[in-house]
Chains A and B, each alone.
Chain A
């Protein structure tokens, strides 16, 4: 994506995360500018999902600093809810609320968290569902939707909060190739509109075409990063090359 990048929105400095004796993240530093789309790639267990969960404080970090639009995540007095209003997150298993319809799933957070007017929220939720190509599915329960459709509802649900940043945690990993495409197209449109996106993904072609920067992680360390054209075609590190040889 060749649009101009703005000021840094998400900044990680020397982040460490330990689960007991296991070091999941070691000295991770990165900076994501407003409107930038980055892809984090790497083998399973390299700490990619943990990295995302640290950004919206689902998991506390052990050391270092993460700021999101100036809010310090490591601050013990952190207002988690204020932070999470700025950060949307989409999960691998969609995690829609099964007892609510697609429309209600999208409407719940703006009504109950942001205390917005129900009629306005409803109108906006319908627009968002149309945007992710699910017009007509408003009153369908998640159980009756396909995986790809559920995932797009999940994206609409996050967008309804008007987040500053969107986190995508292997959102296409559970989908078949066809539905995968529907979801990736939706995310690409979002990125093209200037949404700041952080994706953990195994979709190399998506990383090549949609990302501004790609980060390769292994064993909790960012091995190298750079524009996709450079990193995916000409990696500097032997470890990155070995990984790419396996997946490409």
Chain B
């Protein structure tokens, strides 16, 4: 087994000690989030939205028979734009699934006993973890072929799927680190006692180590998903029609500059309403599984 690498900023890499199964609740932290949750945050968002609409209304020409009001215009476009937003969510789910499966394999390769495997996986992980997401996306869009041959059958590779792969790469690298950290966070004594019972290394990993590290890997994994969801808007830059693209198209069709702020804010609000509960749940889980440093 490799010794713990020092200089980590990941909570999962900290020694587990007795805090493993015992939930540590910081009363102050609970009170803080209880107060900041929904009412204040959502109220502020709503106020911001109302302000933006009011400002746009005041800035633009008054509504008339030929010119619908700001809210009415937003309402008109909302179904189309929302379908674009749903497409972003679809891309996020697919990228996350693909990245998680690949990241799990890569993370386990990072704790391999064979040093070439371990080193190789480490290099791949560091490369994709420290490369700009947009650059990876560009590479995937322009370097992957239009179709691939699988068992003699030519399967087309649509642009949106290339984008999914492009986003899955950094996800893979980050999941790989989460897995490595999670595995390393389980005390060596657990390995020893399982080894003494004649379990094979593979059995130890799947039956003893991973089930215990899973709950520690969950919060950073969810955090990563929230970040990925917001990053899916990058695919509009490489020409995939997502929520961002549709907002831009709607703005061009309307030809009204005062719509610019409220319409983007509408899209932002959807993302926020989706990602904020994930962030809150992550914080709640982190508190429950808190590791005392």
Give residues in A with beta carbon < 8 Å to B: 56, 58, 80-82, 84-85, 87-89, 91, 93, 95-99, 108-109, 112-113, 141, 143, 154, 157-158, 161
- Give the shortest distance, in Å, between A79 (CB) and chain B (any CB): 10
Is B83's beta carbon under 8 Å from chain A? Answer: no
The total number of A-B Cβ pairs within 8 Å is 58
**Can you give 29 A-B contacts (C-beta < 8 A)?**
A56-B196, A58-B192, A58-B195, A58-B196, A81-B200, A82-B198, A84-B195, A84-B196, A84-B197, A84-B198, A85-B198, A87-B196, A89-B193, A89-B196, A91-B189, A91-B193, A97-B193, A97-B212, A98-B212, A108-B207, A109-B198, A112-B199, A112-B203, A112-B207, A113-B199, A113-B203, A154-B193, A158-B197, A161-B197
Number of interface residues of B (CB under 8 A): 19
- A95 and B193 contacting across the interface, CB-CB below 8 Å: yes
- Residues in B with CB closer than 8 Å to A58 are 192, 195-196
Majority secondary structure of chain B interface residues (helix, strand, loop or mixed): helix
Output the least CB separation between A23 and chain B (Å).
Answer: 22
Q: Known: A112-B203, A143-B22. Is A95-B198 also a contact (CB below 8 A)?
A: no
- 4 closest Cβ pairs, A-B complex: A95-B193, A84-B198, A89-B196, A109-B197
Q: Please, how many angstroms separate the alpha-carbon atoms of A95 and B197 in the complex?
A: 12
Please tell me if the beta carbons of A98 and B198 are within 8 angstroms of each other in the complex: no
- Point out the residues of chain A lying under 8 angstroms from B193, CB to CB: 89, 91, 95-97, 154
B212 partner residues in chain A, CB cutoff 8 A: 97-99
What 1/0 flags go to B176-209 for Cβ under 8 Å of A?
Answer: 0000000000000110111111111001000110
Residue of A nearest to B196 (CB): A89
| Given A91-B192, A91-B193: A97 and B199 interface contact (C-beta under 8 Å) | no
CB < 8 Å: which of A56, A97, A154, A161 contacts B208? A97
Q: A58-B195, A85-B198, A97-B212 are in contact. List 20 more A-B contacts (CB 8 A).
A: A58-B192, A81-B198, A82-B198, A84-B196, A84-B198, A87-B196, A89-B193, A89-B196, A93-B189, A95-B190, A98-B212, A99-B212, A108-B207, A109-B198, A109-B199, A112-B199, A112-B207, A113-B198, A113-B199, A141-B21
> How far does the Cβ of A237 sit from chain B's closest Cβ, in whole Å?
32
Residues of A within 8 A of B196 (CB): 56, 58, 84, 87-89, 91, 158
Measured CB to CB, the closest approach of chain A to B17, in angstroms, equals 11
Contact with A along B208-230 (1 / 0, CB 8 A): 10011000000000000000000
Contact A95 B192 (CB under 8 A): yes
B195 to chain A, nearest CB (A): 6
Expressed in whole angstroms, the minimum distance between the Cβ of B204 and any Cβ of chain A is 10
A58 to B197, CA, bound (A): 11
The answer, yes or no, to whether B20 is at the interface (CB within 8 Å) is yes
Give the residue name and chain of the B residue nearest to A160 (CB).
B197
CB distance from A150 to the nearest CB of B (A): 12
Q: Are A98 and B200 in contact (CB under 8 A)?
A: no
